[in-house]
């Protein structure tokens, strides 16, 4: 219980993405507002500077024509001048006032700020403001003559108000934008990650219940996550098929091993119960044991070969193989059995049909196909081996005139241990065709079958020459 309490709470992935999106948006908005604010501030400030610079140039011209008296005459001739229209002051190097348009608090603020130090550069600027009534001014100071300085001031409260309103507007936009981006980012990422959540729910359900038929709901969109959903469902289909095939294989192996194991045990028990002088009967019992053991070993070896072929680890000792000669060897191996049933084995494979393959594995494939053909062919019929060579592909076909295969059984004959209903009375393990296809595919080839009930079958192998 305590471990559950101490377990750290992890933030949902969609919320983390929304937060990342929001932080990125906040940084972008802050940068945008900062740049825009600086541009507006520079424009407003330049406007004030230009006005003061123009006035400074005008007063300098007046001073050059008539000195301080000319500037004083200029202001004395104005009718009803506004006390806030312009602030002009001329001081000497000792900071003594030589002329002033109006006594105003801005001069006290300027002297307090500069401490009586006069600039050495042609034009310097000072911005002054009072907190209590939000009044603000900007003053430009420039040398007028040796030992004299001209100071021109202007009320810039309007400019500061523009910047203040800009800041308030930006702040009023910023907060709703942050909330809206967080909500939008969460909804968008939640919708985009819906396939991932569905995948997680499906995996959790399969792990909890073992229900391998559960699938992730698919959507019409074709994004990356939807493609992942489709591939995950295909993987589940493949896993379900493999597990079902493994269960069926185990059931079939257990069923097919029961008979030879029972015979083996009965033969051993019978031999143990015989008197010591019954040597002949005991030898027959041991021979039965050997025969049943061979059948079991044959089944296990076939299953091992299938497993190796399925994992791609089946070893192939390739060499140049003549299909005509290989077919002849297999026909000779089954000639006695064919003669007993009066079945003719024909080798019509052209001599020029050669292929780079594992001779033993390929002979095993042909032997399995001929063995099946002899099992299901009637007495007095024929089994024909034909072949052809075109471009880079060599073809070998085994044709019989036996009972054929039903159409519904054709897709299943390649499954391990599968035996059609009409073939269950015929001896066999049901591993031959699946092993043949595994070996052919390991060579990079293909195998297919054409069959009709009561008219026979044609199994065709296609192998690359190299």
Q: Which of 197, 224, 203, 227 is nearest to 215 (CA)?
A: 203
- 463 neighbors 444 (Cβ within 8 angstroms): yes
Q: How high is the pLDDT of residue 8?
A: 42
The whole-model pTM stands at 0.47
CA dihedral 188, 193, 195, 199 (to 10 degrees): -160
Burial 327-350 (b: 16+ CB within 10 A, else e): beebbeebeeebeeeebebebebe
Q: What is the DSSP string of 174-219?
A: HHHHHHHHHHHHHHHHHHHTHHHHHHHHHHHHHHHH--TT--PPP-
H helices, E strands: number in the chain: 11, 12
Q: Is 430 within 8 Å of 417 (Cβ atoms)?
A: yes
Q: What is the pLDDT of residue 3?
A: 43
- Rounded-to-integer distance, Cα 88 and Cα 99, Å: 8
- Name the nearest CA neighbour of 149 among 231, 63, 223, 263: 63
- pLDDT digit of tens for each residue in the chain (466 aa)? 444 444 443 456 667 777 787 888 888 888 888 898 899 888 888 888 888 888 888 888 888 888 888 888 888 876 565 545 578 888 888 888 888 887 777 788 887 887 777 777 777 887 877 665 557 888 888 888 888 888 888 888 788 888 888 888 888 888 888 888 878 877 777 777 777 778 888 888 888 887 877 888 877 666 777 778 888 888 888 887 777 767 766 766 666 667 677 777 777 777 777 666 566 767 777 777 777 777 777 667 766 766 666 666 677 888 999 999 999 999 998 999 899 999 999 999 998 899 999 898 899 899 889 988 998 889 999 999 999 988 889 999 999 988 888 888 888 777 765 655 554 445 555 567 888 888 888 888 999 999 888 888 999 999 998 7
Residue 271 buriedness (CB in 10 A; 0-12 / 13-18 / 19+): middle
Give pairs for 68-76: CB < 8 Å, separation 24+: 68/98, 68/99, 68/148, 71/99, 72/99, 75/101
Radius of gyration of the chain (CA): 51
**Cβ within 8 Å of residue 171, ≥6 positions away:** none
450, 456, 458, 459: CA torsion to nearest 10: 90
3-class secondary-structure state, position 344: strand
What is the structure's pLDDT at 458? 93
* Secondary structure of residue 84 in the 3-state scheme: coil
Q: How far is CA 265 from CA 256, 260, 284, 292, in A?
A: 15, 9, 14, 10
Beta pairing partners, 152: 88, 140
Task: Tell me what pLDDT residue 308 has.
Answer: 65
The pair of three-digit structure tokens given for residue 156, joined into one six-digit string: 């810039």
């Amino acid at each position: 219980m305590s471990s559950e309490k101490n377990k750290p709470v992890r933030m949902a992935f969609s919320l983390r993405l929304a937060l990342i999106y929001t932080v990125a948006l906040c940084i972008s908005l802050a940068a945008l507002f900062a740049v825009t604010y600086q541009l507006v501030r520079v424009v407003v400030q330049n406007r004030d500077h230009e006005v003061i610079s123009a006035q400074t140039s005008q007063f300098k011209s007046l001073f050059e024509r008539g000195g301080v008296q000319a500037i004083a005459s200029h202001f004395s001739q104005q009718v009803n001048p506004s006390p806030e229209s312009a602030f002009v002051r001329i001081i000497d190097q000792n900071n003594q006032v030589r002329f002033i348009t109006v006594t105003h608090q801005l001069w006290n603020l300027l002297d307090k700020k500069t401490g009586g130090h006069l600039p050495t550069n042609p034009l310097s600027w000072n911005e002054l403001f009072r907190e209590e009534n939000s009044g603000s001014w900007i003053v430009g100071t420039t040398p007028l003559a040796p030992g004299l300085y001209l100071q021109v001031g202007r009320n810039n409260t309007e400019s500061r108000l523009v910047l203040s309103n800009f800041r308030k507007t930006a702040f009023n936009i910023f907060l709703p934008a942050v909330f809206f981006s967080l909500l939008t980012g969460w909804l968008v990422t939640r919708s985009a990650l819906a396939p991932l959540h569905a995948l997680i729910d499906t995996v959790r359900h399969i792990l909890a219940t073992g229900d391998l038929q559960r699938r992730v709901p698919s959507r019409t969109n074709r994004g990356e996550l939807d493609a992942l959903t489709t591939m995950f469902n295909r993987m589940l289909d493949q896993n379900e098929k493999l597990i079902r095939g493994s269960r069926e294989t185990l059931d079939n192996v257990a069923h097919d091993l029961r008979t030879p194991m029972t015979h083996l045990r009965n033969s051993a028990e019978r031999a143990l119960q015989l008197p010591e002088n019954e040597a002949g009967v005991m030898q027959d019992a041991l021979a039965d044991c050997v025969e049943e053991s061979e059948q079991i070993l044959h089944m296990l070896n076939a299953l091992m070969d299938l497993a190796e072929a399925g994992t791609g680890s089946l070893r192939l000792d390739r060499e140049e193989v003549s299909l005509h000669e290989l077919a002849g060897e297999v026909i000779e191996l089954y000639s006695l059995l064919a003669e007993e049933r009066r079945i003719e084995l024909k080798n019509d494979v052209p001599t020029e049909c050669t292929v780079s393959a594992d001779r033993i594995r390929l002979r095993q494939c042909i032997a399995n196909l001929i063995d099946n053909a002899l099992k299901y062919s009637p007495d007095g019929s024929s089994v024909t081996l034909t072949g052809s060579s075109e471009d880079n592909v060599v073809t070998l076909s085994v044709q019989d005139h036996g009972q054929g295969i039903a159409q519904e059984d054709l897709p299943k004959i390649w499954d391990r241990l599968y035996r059609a209903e009409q073939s269950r009375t015929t001896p066999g393990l049901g591993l031959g065709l699946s092993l043949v296809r595994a070996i052919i595919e390991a060579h990079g080839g293909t195998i297919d079958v054409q069959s009709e009930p009561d008219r026979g079958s044609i199994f065709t192998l296609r192998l690359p020459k190299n």
